[in-house]
Structures are given as structure tokens and as C-alpha cells.
Amino acid sequence: MHIYIHIPFCTSKCPYCAFGSHTDKFNLVKKYFQALHFEIKDFLEKNSGEISTLFIGGGTPSSVNSHFYAEIFNLLKPHFSSQYEATTEANPNSATLAWLEAIREFGINRVSFGAQSFNEQKLKFLGRNHSAKDTFNAVKNAKIAGFDNINIDLIYSTKFDTKAMLEFELENIAKLSVPHISAYSLTLEENTPFSGKKSYKKDSIRLDEFLFSHLLELGFNQYEISNFSKNSFLCKHNLAYWEQKNYAGFGAYAVGFKDCARFYSPKSVEAYIKNPLLKTRESIDKNALRFEHIFLGARCKIGINAKFLNQNELKNAQTLAQNGKLKLENSIFYNPNFALADEIALFITSQI
């Protein structure tokens, strides 16, 4: 089983972020965790099987005192598989050594810090309320707490990103000595203060390729357009999403997926607390899932399975393979250049 838990609290709201999170609802934390406990207990009573991956995301999981998590882990821990991966997101300024030690003790074995940048001007532009020094401190504390599986989130393609800026980010990444990087191209999300601010973003495939190739030089293999890992530290939870496996989503704003349907929790903390089991079901037709497989497959090392392609798509994929843009192995088309993922998926799905 794959499980996602959403924590909708943050100590400040970043102007680019469209995730479900609030800075003024900490008074509801206790009730929220009671509702989460209720929902998870109900799920575990109705579903058997081991939990192979768990992801606690947000929002900012580290903005909530660790003791609130204890009872949830009492429920979950007995179901962890022997090789389970349990990740929590955390912000560099709220993940204290005590918090990290406590959640490690509960069973979390992977931590993902939202560093975003090491440049103070870029951090300020992104509205972050932490410094690069806080990120170094948080990673040091995570290692002291016993974490070896550590991820750093970065944001690039902002107006500040040049070769020199990316070199600076890469120098700091090298110093941190962590095995995983998630580097996201800035998205100007609707209904955020960054919405429509085209001048805030700089799109350049040349800069993207510069970042990807230099991460490779540091030993990070790109296994998805935004994800890079050393050795075997790939994020198993994300791989499950990209393989379109079933997963359960708990908490306000959470989404789950099961057998061709998505299940949406209430998009309000209060509504979720009132009825933690309420879900809106959206069925997804097989064709939409097939399309999703093509777009996801072009973006990651899972590739695009020929058996999901219709005649026209297969012909287009074969054309790309003949031109060296895709590699065909055992009936799976692999994209060797994730910077071109969207163009490749669009070409495969086009009527030409």
C-alpha cells in the first residue's frame, strides 16, 4: 500500500505556492490530528496489506509539534513492510533536532527539506522565511538524528537563475552531501501572488540542461524530470505515483487513487474535521489514464509501454525512435532527454 498524509499548516505562506495550507489555523491542529486518526483507523480496518511507502506532505509537517504524530504512528507502524520508505517534508527553520529525533523514532526514515535556494536574494524573492544557513543546520541535525535518506527541494527557472546562480546552487548542494535532489522549475500558479507574473520566470532549455548535466557530474542520476538520486536513493513513493499504482490520501486537500478513480478529501480544514471520511469520487476513463502514462513515461525512467499506445501513437513513437529521440527496449520507449519530455509526449499523441 502507498499512503499520503496531508498537513495543511505553514508558519508563513510563500507567494508561489498553491498547495492547501494555512498560517492562521494552528488552533485546529489538535482536532485535525484527531480527524486524521479517525480516518486512518477506519481505512486500516477496511483494508489489509503492508504499507510499502508513506509520504507526509504539506503544508509544513515540521510546523506541528512531533507529539501530535505519535498516535498516528501507533496505528501505521504495525503495517510497515520490511523495506518500507516513510518520508516527511520539513522546512529548514522549523525542523529542530528534537523534532527530527522524535519522528525518526516514530519510524520516518526519509526527510525532504524545502531549501529552494542558497542565495539570500532568491530566497527573499521566493518569500522564504529561512536562510541558507538554516538549511545547512537542518541537514546536519537530520544526520545527527539518524537520517541517511535526505532530499533537498530546489526551485529554478526564476528570473534570478543564470549559469552563475545555478553554479552557486550546485556548489552548495555538493557541500551538503545528501543523496537526493528534487529541482522544480518555477510554476506561476493561478490564485497565488505569482500568478501571471511572466517576468518572474526564465524558461531556458539550455539552462535546464546545464543544471541536469552538472547534477550528473555531482553523482545525481536523473530518474524523472525534477528528481535526481545518488545510487539507490530513488523516492519509492513518487515512483509508485508515476507507475499509476493505487494510493490512499488522508487529510484535508488529500487525493487518493484506486482502480481508475480519484478520491478527493474536502478542500477545507474545518470541513475535513467535521467529516474525515467524506470523499468526492471522480472516475477517470481508460483513455485519460493512457494519456497520463504517455506524459508521465516521457518524464521519467519508467518509460512508455508500447502496449498502451494506439496505432497512431505507436507510429509516432517509432518515428522518434528511428530519429534517436527515444530508445526502444523490450517494447518500452525510453526518453533519454527529460528536458524534452513534454515535446515528446505531445508528438506521440498528435494526429499527424
Between residue 321 and residue 340, which ones bind ligand SF4 under the rule CB under 6 A?
none
Interaction of residue 21 with ligand SF4, rule CB under 6 A: yes
Q: Which of 13, 22, 25, 197 binds ligand SF4 (CB under 6 A)?
A: 13
Burial of 159 (0-12, 13-18, 19+ CB in 10 A): middle
Helix, strand, coil shares of the chain as percentages rounded to 5? 45, 25, 35
Q: Which stretch binds ligand SAM (CB under 6 A): 13-21, 80-88, 212-220, 330-338?
A: 13-21
Q: Which stretch binds ligand SAM (CB under 6 A): 55-63, 117-125, 167-175, 297-305?
A: 55-63
- Examine residue 317 and tell whether it contacts ligand SAM (CB under 6 A): no
Which range touches ligand SAM (CB under 6 A), out of 52-60, 173-181, 260-268, 294-302? 52-60
| CA separation for the pair 263, 266 (Å, rounded) | 10
**Contact window for ligand SAM (CB under 6 A) among 162-170, 173-181, 185-193, 263-271:** 185-193
Angle, helices 341-349 vs 311-322, to 10°: value is: 130
Q: Which does 13 bind (CB under 5 to 8 A by kind): ligand SAM, ligand SF4, none?
A: ligand SF4
Considering Cα of 223, then 243, then 313, then 311, what sign does the dihedral take? positive
Q: What is the DSSP letter of 300?
A: B
Specify whether the CB–CB gap between 128 and 160 falls below 8 A.
no
Q: In this chain, which of 58, 61, 297, 303 binds ligand SF4, going by CB under 6 A? A: 58
Q: How far is the CB of 74 from ligand SF4 (least distance, A)?
A: 26
Residue selected from 60, 93, 238, 316 as contacting ligand SAM according to rule CB under 6 A: 60
Say how far apart CA 165 and CA 123 lie, in whole Å.
Answer: 12
Q: Which of 325, 331, 324, 328 shows the shortest CA–CA distance to 345?
A: 325
User: Per rule CB under 6 A, is residue 57 in the interface with ligand SAM?
Assistant: yes
Say which residue the cell 513513493 belongs to: 237
CB of residue 187 to ligand SF4, shortest distance in Å: 12
Question: Considering CB under 6 A, how many residues would be counted as binding ligand SAM?
Answer: 16
Q: CB neighbours (10 Å) of residue 183?
A: 23
Q: How far is residue 247's CA from residue 257's CA, in Å, rounded to a whole number?
A: 5
Minimum CB separation of residue 161 from ligand SF4 in Å reads 18
| Closer CB to ligand SAM, 4 or 16, in the complex | 16
Supply 134's cell numbers: 538554516
Q: Which of ligand SAM, ligand SF4, none interacts with 308 (beta carbon under 5 to 8 A by kind)?
A: none
Identify the residue whose cell numbers are 508500447: 306
Least distance from C-beta 137 to ligand SF4, angstroms? 17
Stretch that binds ligand SF4, among 8-16, 131-139, 210-218, 308-316 (CB under 6 A): 8-16
CB of 114 or CB of 179, closer to ligand SF4: 114
Cis, peptide link before residue 59, omega less than 30° from 0: yes
Distances (CA, A) of 164 to 29, 167, 208, 219: 42, 5, 13, 20
Which chain residues interact with ligand SAM by CB under 6 A?
16-17, 19, 57-58, 60, 89, 91, 114, 116, 153, 155, 184, 186-187, 189
Binding footprint of ligand SF4 on the chain (CB under 6 A): 10, 13-14, 17, 19, 21, 58-60, 91, 114
